[in-house]
Amino acid sequence: MDMISKRRASRTLAVLFSAALLAACGGGDDAPAPASAPAPAPGPAPAPTPATAFATPTSTTTTAQAGGVETYQYAENGAAQTAGTPAFAASAVSFGATLASAQGYAGAALRLYAPNNTAFNASSYSRMRIQLRSSTDALLLIKLQPTPVSADGCTATAEAVVSSTLSELVIDLNSTRFPLPAHCGSGTTLNTVRAGLLAVDVVNPASTAGAHDLAVGSISLEP
């Protein structure tokens, strides 16, 4: 073998030796990692549990759930208060009263009874949806009536800010939103009344001279 052939053979062996050494030491570029599989698309969100209808007025005296509708009014001087006539229109029942003079306290109210006029166990419900309106005042009271009804109004009571347009409010059924009225030393607390909810009272408590009204549409409960 001539000198040129020997040199070529030596270079070839050196290249092969270097490649083997690199492979043994992990040298060289790593093979690209396989692409990760895409995350599966999330499934559809579960449908929300529908609200349970409590009272949907169909006239001035009844609801679609076979419950009754009643009106009442009160004032410091009863002779100074004149009750109006209840009316039903646009899926809401309305009522009002007129005060001849300002009173220390007064109210005009609608009472919508539970389905079939039977105590309703609302313990598993956390929110109330209620449609309200007043063309005369901005504040209404919502009273949850136990079984039997609290004659003095000392039961879980919420305040609702309303307008002259019938609008739906969503109110949490908790003791923060439904405390006992401040003037009540004792009464039926929320946890007690929820187990046997007989009716929902909506009261316009305005006590200034003049007309004061309210209207109530559907009432439903949500888990």
pLDDT tens digits along 41-98: 776 766 667 899 999 999 999 999 999 999 999 999 999 999 999 999 999 999 999 9
What phi and psi, each to the nearest 5 degrees, are found at residue 5?
-65, -40
Tokens of 45: 């969100």
pLDDT of residue 52: 98
Q: Kindly report whether the peptide bond that precedes residue 179 is cis, defined as omega within 30 degrees of 0.
A: no
Helix (H) or strand (E) holding 73: strand 69-75
Express the helix, strand and coil content of the chain in percent, nearest 5 each: 15, 40, 45
Handedness of CA 189, 194, 195, 199 (dihedral sign): positive
Residue 17 has pLDDT above 60, yes or no: no
How many Å apart are CA 91 and CA 59, to the nearest integer? 8
The SS3 of residue 84 is coil
Quick check: 65 and 54 in contact, CB under 8 A? yes
The model's pLDDT over 142-197, given as tens digits with 9 standing for 90+, comes to: 999 999 999 999 999 999 999 999 999 999 999 999 999 988 989 999 999 999 99
Cross-strand pairs, 127: 172, 222
Q: What would you report as the CA-atom Rg of the chain, rounded to the nearest whole angstrom?
A: 37
**Model confidence at 120, in pLDDT bands (50, 70, 90)?**
very high
Distances (CA, A) of 98 to 35, 75, 136, 152, 206: 77, 10, 11, 21, 10
Q: Which domains does the chain have, with CATH numbers?
A: 52-222 (2.60.120.430)
Selection from 115, 105, 117 nearest residue 203 by Cα: 105
pLDDT of residue 20: 47
